[in-house]
Amino acid sequence: MTASDTSAASLEHLREHGFALLERMILIRQFESRVQALYAEQEMRTPVHLCIGQEAVPSAVCSCLRDADHIFSSHRCHGHYMAKGGDLNRLAAELYCRSEGCSGGKGGSMHIVDVERGVCGTTAIVGGSVPIALGAGLASSLRRDGGVSVAFFGDGASEEGTFHESLNIAALKTLPVIFVQENNLYATSSHVRNRQAYDGGASLARGYGMPACRIDGNDAVAVHQAALEAVARARRGEGPSFIECLTYRWMDHVGAGDGLEKGYRSREEWDDWVRRCPVKALEERIVEAGVADSGQIAAVYERVNGRVDEAFAFGKASPWPGAMTLSENV
Amino acid sequence: MPWTRMLADGYANGALPGADSTQRMLTYSQALREAQAMAMAADPNVIVMGEGVDDPGGIFGSTLGLHTEFGPDRCFDLPIAENASTGMALGAAVAGLRPIYVHMRMDFMLMGMDQLVNHVAKWRYMTNGAQKAPLVIRALIGRGWGSAAQHSQSLQGMFMQVPGLKIVMPVTPMDAKGLLLSAIADDGPVLCVEHRWLYSRQGHTPEEMYFVPLGKGAVLRPGRDVTICALSQMVCEALAAAEELAAEGIEAEVLDMRSVKPLDEDLLLESVSRTGRLVVADTGNVMAGWSAEVAALVHEKAFDQLRGPVQRIGLPDIPTPASCVLEDAFYPGKEDIKAGVHRLLARDMAPNRKTGGIHG
């Protein structure tokens, strides 16, 4: 395939999927930005790990999935939940730790769930989501229901033992699992080059005998193409795939600031990644390709902002959990 | 003959209470296998996984032939990857399966502590019950033949610290089957700790499917003078001790607690309220272990009924040694239990001290 063929395929892909992808990305961006804006009120009393800047990966991967497919995520999980279609009101309510939150106020920002949409739960232990996703894949494999299980995790996860154990098991047992590594370069404030002797998770995944690629995680179309291929392979019963997505979080590891004052990353680096905003990039491509005009995109923002307003109003108004619920569902 | 069988078979001479040769008898390992086979036949979601579950020994007979009976999709070997395998069992449970994950040695479970403690035990609570974690982890413990520090640990006390985990330690074949079936049927994670020395013991085991409730102990021998509350293989030691104490005119009540957690408080407190004396016998460490929890509970809730301090029989705060001479010094048995009873009787105090004392 020549470069022009590739770009032609990409253009076709953009025309077919671009607008729907953009809608998901705008939802995540606007919701997370609202968390950021409201966090200083100190009414969301739970540590938030925002994914602003990383919206392309969850949107592109989850748009290849069905409700019945299972996803497992990490502490930076809001985007995955929303991209998979998780209930927005209940997510906001969980951030306020209220009774109508998706986890009844027991999970908080790092433990969110929407069973109907296949959001099976999220873990705040690095690498924790990876083996759990194997199990849902195992269940689909046993039942031959064509289901796919996705593990979302960050760059730090490939330093954990579970990562290696899990890739081996998934390949050995030909499980319908897709490993999606969001390599945003930092684990809290440690740069990946200070932590990894290898060059990214995809380089390791190949050693476990599965197709693996490293792609621009801010290019929603590229991620979508890779995910479609991986999902199709899994549904055909051909086993796991690995997608490493290079991306960047605009916010600090945790909280509503950008953390630039801490000095672990430079303003120049940050500016460079913000210029490569995945949402703006897709908007520009969509307008350029004539898929939609700026008025249609503005209408998406308006609609999404309305949904976000509603979700946060719901969350704030939701009653606190009764103290009696403390000992329920242990 | 493998050494583990030699030891276990040698220990298996004494029949368990309730054993009667006219009834249907199974060994402990056969009873475990039967429970799993029945659950697998009744529910296609039940699977058995673990290192060696499909090998010729079949985990000392307890999984023997399940892979041929139910197919390699439902009973399968695993890589030496306990942490990911524990996580996989959780994910499978979340997706509707009922996995049984077997560890040939409880020591190997420690490799899966992150998934077990951080994930399995908490998944249901973190999702407020939206997701359940119906999985069973079977873990074998044992002692002797120089197994030493890393092939002998009895870690139930450590796992008691983790909210969200239930723990059972069946002693009789009847309970092995009935408790394992209850564990499989339970919607939360259950840890089933099985002592290798019990594996060859025979006992009456009904043929049908039945459930021994989690969190309920049993009185194996009634008595009025002292309560001996024990777990796992120490129940056998307690029964032997009680037999010898009877010859001295001391009537000991032996409780097989069966479940480490939930603990059958009612059974324990009722017995202590009658006897006023308690000896706790555990296969695990005394330090911050199950016996410590039982002793604290009884002091909190039945202090006025006690005629003396709770006696704890368990392992010293020392790793397991290999030499048989050191093993003999390390492991407690019926003599230690008897000594505990004698200590209590020797320093007998009147119960119900709240009516006496310096202000009385």
Is A104 in Cβ contact with B118 (below 8 Å)?
no
pLDDT digits (tens, 9 = 90+) for A246-279: 999 999 999 999 999 999 999 999 999 999 999 9
Three-class SS of residue B309? coil
What pLDDT score was predicted for residue A8? 84
**Sheet arrangement for strand B278-285:** B218-221, B252-256, B226-230, B278-285, B311-315
Dihedral in degrees, nearest 10, Cα atoms B190, B46, B25, B60? -80
Count of beta carbons in the 10 Å neighbourhood of residue B110: 16
Cα–Cα dist A146/A199, whole Å: 33
For residue B139, is pLDDT > 80? yes
What pLDDT score was predicted for residue B350? 65
Query: Do A212 and A225 touch, CB atoms closer than 8 A?
Result: no
Residue B21 — very low, low, confident or very high, per pLDDT cuts 50/70/90? low
What pLDDT score was predicted for residue B11? 56
Do B3-204 and B218-351 show the same overall fold? yes
Closest Cβ opposite residue A139 in set B95, B128, B130: B95
Count of beta carbons in the 10 Å neighbourhood of residue B211: 16
Across B299-319, average pLDDT: 97
- Can you give the length of chain A in residues? 330
Domain B3-204, classified CATH 3.40.50.970, yes or no: yes
| Residue ranges per structural domain of chain A | 3-315
DSSP H/E element including A122? strand A119-122
pLDDT digits (tens, 9 = 90+) for A149-174: 999 999 999 999 999 999 999 999 99
pLDDT digits (tens, 9 = 90+) for A67-98: 999 999 999 999 999 999 999 999 999 999 99
Cα–Cα dist A220/A285, whole Å: 11
Cα–Cα dist B221/B337, whole Å: 15
User: CATH says B218-351 is which class?
Assistant: alpha beta
Residue of A nearest to B79 (CA): A169
For residue A1, is pLDDT > 50? no
For residue B5, is pLDDT > 60? no
Lookup: tokens for A195: 């932590």
Pairing of strands B166-168, B259-261: antiparallel
| Residue ranges per structural domain of chain B | 3-204, 218-351
**Residues of A in Cβ contact (< 8 Å) with B99:** 135
Q: Indicate which residues of B carry an active-site annotation.
A: 82, 151
CA A329 from centre of chain: 27
Kindly report the nearest CA distance between residue B124 and chain A, in angstroms.
Answer: 6
Q: What is the mean pLDDT of chain A?
A: 96
Across A55-65, average pLDDT: 98
Pairing of strands A70-73, B166-168: unpaired
For residue B148, is pLDDT > 60? yes
Phi-psi region of A138 (alpha: psi -120 to 50; beta: other; left: phi over 0): alpha
**Residues of B in Cβ contact (< 8 Å) with A325:** 128
- DSSP 8-class letter at A114: B
Q: Is A267 exposed, middle or buried (0-12, 13-18, 19+ CB in 10 A)?
A: exposed
Q: What is the mean pLDDT of chain B?
A: 93
Lookup: tokens for B218: 């049993």
pLDDT digits (tens, 9 = 90+) for A283-322: 999 999 999 999 999 999 999 999 999 999 999 999 999 9
Across A115-129, average pLDDT: 97
Chain A residues whose C-beta is within 8 A of a chain B C-beta are 70, 72, 102-107, 111, 113-115, 120-121, 123, 125, 128, 130-140, 142, 149, 161-162, 165-166, 168-169, 172, 325, 328-330
Cα–Cα dist B360/B358, whole Å: 6
Cα–Cα dist B36/A313, whole Å: 50
Closest Cβ opposite residue A135 in set B73, B94, B163: B94
Write phi, then psi, for A202 (nearest 5 degrees). Answer: -60, -35
Is B131 in Cβ contact with A131 (below 8 Å)?
no
- Can you give the length of chain B in residues? 360
Cα–Cα dist B237/A312, whole Å: 62
For residue B359, is pLDDT > 60? no
DSSP B240-259: HHHHHHHHTT--EEEEE--E
Cβ pairs bridging A and B (under 8 Å): 143
For residue B358, is pLDDT > 60? no
| Fold exhibited by the domain A3-315 | Rossmann fold (3.40.50)
Q: Which residue has the tokens 């790092």?
A: A110
What ipTM was reported for this prediction? 0.94
For residue B67, is pLDDT > 90? yes
Three-class SS of residue A12? helix
What pLDDT score was predicted for residue B1? 42
For residue A36, is pLDDT > 50? yes
For residue B30, is pLDDT > 50? yes
Cα–Cα dist B272/B227, whole Å: 6
Q: Which residue has the tokens 């999902």?
A: A231
What pLDDT score was predicted for residue A5? 59
Quickly count helices (H) and strands (E) in chain B.
13, 14
What is this structure's pTM?
A: 0.94
Residue B355 — very low, low, confident or very high, per pLDDT cuts 50/70/90? very low
For residue B63, is pLDDT > 60? yes
**B143/A contact by beta carbon, under 8 A:** no
